[in-house]
């Protein structure tokens, strides 16, 4: 299954892919220097349930065309929303693109649970409202921390539950 990340810049898409796969999908020197994803990144993990491939997309508004090119071939989405920010403009854009592409399988990861756990209920509500009229309206919402590993097992299980 190919899973594409989606979400606002600095919400932790690349860190989450690394926590799930052990692979840093940011490979360009400029990405490392600037600390943002500029081009599509790729990672995979081989699990007992099968191989999961990830397409890590940029979240910056100037790279929405790159996000779109990465999202066109995915089977499911991993929508990432940071608990310290909530739903932001690129979260909305990416969710709309996923819906236009007909992506109806996915999981929402609420990142930075280690620093903003108090916001879980409010951001969960924001994500549900954002996705209510989309194919992802029933997506599981999982609080996680890429830095501590909290919630990564639950996220992996939710991704496996999407099926092949």
Catalytic residue numbers, as ranges: 10, 13-14, 60
**DSSP letters along 106-145, please?**
EEEEEE-HHHHGGGHHHHHHHHHHHHTTSTTTT-EEEE--
Strand 106-111's sheet: what is its strand order?
A: 41-47, 50-56, 2-7, 76-82, 106-111, 140-143
φ and ψ of 16, to 5 deg: -70, -45
In the chain, helix, strand, coil percent, each to 5?
A: 40, 25, 35
């Amino acid at each position: 299954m190919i899973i594409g990340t989606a979400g606002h810049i600095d919400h932790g898409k690349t860190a989450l892919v690394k926590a799930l796969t052990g692979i840093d999908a940011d490979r360009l020197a400029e990405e490392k220097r600037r600390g943002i994803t500029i081009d599509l990144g790729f990672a995979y993990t081989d699990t007992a349930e099968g191989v999961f491939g990830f397409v890590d997309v940029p979240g910056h508004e100037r790279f929405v065309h790159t996000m779109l090119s990465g999202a066109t071939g995915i089977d499911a989405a991993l929508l990432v929303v940071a608990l310290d920010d909530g739903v932001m403009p690129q979260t909305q854009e990416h969710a709309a693109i996923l819906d236009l592409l007909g992506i109806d399988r996915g999981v929402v990861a609420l990142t930075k649970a280690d620093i903003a756990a108090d916001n879980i209920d409010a951001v969960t509500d924001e994500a549900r409202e954002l996705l209510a009229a989309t194919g992802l309206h029933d997506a599981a919402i999982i609080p996680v921390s890429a830095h501590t590993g909290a919630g990564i097992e639950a996220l992996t299980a939710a991704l496996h539950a999407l099926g092949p």
